Amino acid sequence: MFKARTARLDITGGPVRETLLRLALPVIVLNILKAGYNIVDMFWIGRLGADYLAGVSGSVFLVWAIHGLSHLITTGITAGVSRNAGEGREDLAAMNAGRSLLHTVWVGLLITLLVYPLAPLLIRYVGMSAVATVAGIQYLEVMAAFTVVIFLMFSLHSIMIARGDTVMPVRVYGATFVLNIVLSPVLMFGIGPFPRLETRGAAYATIVSYLVACLWFWWLMRRRGWVSFRGAGLPGIIPLRRYISLGYPIALTGMMFSFIYFFIANVTARFGDAAVGAMGIGHRVESIAYFFSFGLATGLSSFVGQNIGAGRPERAVEATRHALRVVALLSLFYTVFTMVTAPFLVSLFNDEPGLVAFGVAYIYIVMPAEVLQSLLIVIEDGAFTGAGYTRPSFTVSLPITLARIPLAWFLAVFCGFGAGGIWATIALTMALNAFFFLALYRRDDWLKVKIVS
């Protein structure tokens, strides 16, 4: 069945628009399901109270930093394995996939050793209430302790997508998403024989779901022969240093993006736990557009990598243009929807009046910039990542994102705009980043990157 479906989906020779959409639509669903993990957690945590919601909102940026560091390996998988597949070098693609998983384990263990001991100190820095601080520490400690599981899940599904299978990951995530929905309230509230774990329970539910996904992905890839641990040192094998050189611009930018939000959360906490909780809710609402755009970008990255590997860069350019049109239209529709229904969306998580007011303001100010942010994601995480052109993520995105710290303080505290100044900072920097990447996309440097010399 799988081979037949792969034969019909000719990534390097079929119609560009139809092939891209068939490749990307399942990934869009997959990424919305990934957003669902976080939304389910926030929904149930909101039932514990506003303090708990603020605590997890204050810690989730550090969890995102951990997620961002997974790009140290997954970027190389996307660019390298997809290019091997486009070249028709199946054995090399399997060997590079196997080596990438070994690198994933070592990098994940290192991140755990670095982050776990710092979790209490980092959460206390945010300056939330005592209840919120404890809730945030408990959530972050669990997520940091199981970094290897998180990284392996990202690497395994990156291999599948790089090989062109975007349907099976949706099935895996769909099943584990349902598992997370069931486990979260059971572990958080101590239903049945389970103890009441509160925010720890939400984190454990997510990790158990991720672990099931890892085992399922591993079984599928071993069955298909997509992973091999042979070939160390052979020509064409991507060394660890190349994974790092490809991945560090995106990984460090993603990590710093999250840490910057950690510092912004500290500024936001000046206006109360309700403001911090509202920022977390705003990010969950925003995340639907993000994960939709990132899903399209992920499918595009496989398309771009395989077509560059096959010597057909013109198809990569044409597919990117189609992706930009689609994401612009759909993100505009979602932005209008969220602005019209903002009070209802925020109150789904928590209906305290102060929190709802902050959350509605976030949506009104930030969501209009979401269309430009979606274009940025398609270019940066789709076209550029598939081609291995990752340096602009470090040289362009990082400085603009770093500027959020002083700008947020200036508008919110110095100018007296309060939390609205922080929301405006987020929107302005999103727009500026997008304009720079649109300019870079119009050049053809991204089509000339070599993965292995």
Write the CA distances from 139 to 77, 93, 365, integer angstroms. Answer: 29, 37, 29
Query: What pLDDT was estimated at residue 88?
Result: 79
Stretch 339-355: mean pLDDT, rounded?
A: 86
- End-to-end Cα separation, the chain, in angstroms: 37
Q: Which of 334-338, 382-386, 443-447 has the highest mean pLDDT?
A: 334-338
Contact 129, 49 (CB under 8 A): no
SS3 423: helix
Measured between alpha carbons, how far is 98 from 84 in angstroms, rounded to an integer?
13
User: Closest by alpha carbon to 383, among 436, 308, 450?
Assistant: 308
Model confidence at 354, in pLDDT bands (50, 70, 90)? confident
Beta strands in 242-400 (DSSP E): none
Single out the residue of 268, 263, 288 nearest to residue 361, CA to CA: 268
pTM summary value? 0.71
Q: Which residue, among 233, 59, 26, has the nearest Cα to 144 in the 3D structure?
A: 59
Rounded Cα–Cα distance for residues 55 and 123 (Å): 8
Predicted local confidence at residue 2, as pLDDT: 34
Helix (H, G, I), strand (E, B) or coil at 409: helix
Angle formed at CA 173 by CA 143 and CA 201, multiple of 5 degrees: 35
128 phi, psi to nearest 5 deg: -90, 180
Contact call for residues 404 and 258 (beta carbons, < 8 A): no
For 258-306, the pLDDT digits (tens) are 777 767 877 888 888 788 888 888 887 887 888 788 888 988 988 888 8
Other CB atoms within a 10 A radius of the CB of residue 195 amount to 9
Check whether 425 has a pLDDT greater than 90.
Answer: yes
Check whether 1 has a pLDDT greater than 50: no
User: How far is the C-alpha of 160 from the C-alpha of 173, rounded, in Å?
Assistant: 13
Which range in 15-29, 79-93, 183-197, 347-361 is most confidently predicted, on average pLDDT? 183-197
- Of these ranges, 72-76, 192-196, 375-379, the one predicted with the greatest mean pLDDT is 375-379
Q: What is the pLDDT of residues 185-218, one digit of tens each?
A: 999 899 988 899 988 998 999 899 999 999 999 9
The answer to whether the beta carbons of residues 389 and 309 sit under 8 Å apart is no
**What residues contact 400, with CB distance under 8 A and at least 6 apart?**
429, 432, 433, 436
- Residue 115, Cβ neighbours under 10 Å: how many? 21
Under the banding of pLDDT at 50, 70 and 90, the label for residue 6 is very low
Q: pLDDT-derived band of residue 5, with 50, 70 and 90 as boundaries?
A: very low
Residue by residue, DSSP assigns 6-51 as HHH--TTTS-HHHHHHHHHHHHHHHHHHHHHHHHHHHHHHHHH-HH
Q: Residue 272 phi/psi, 5° resolution?
A: 105, 160
Transcribe 71-91 into DSSP letters: HHHHHHIIIIIHHHHHHT-HH
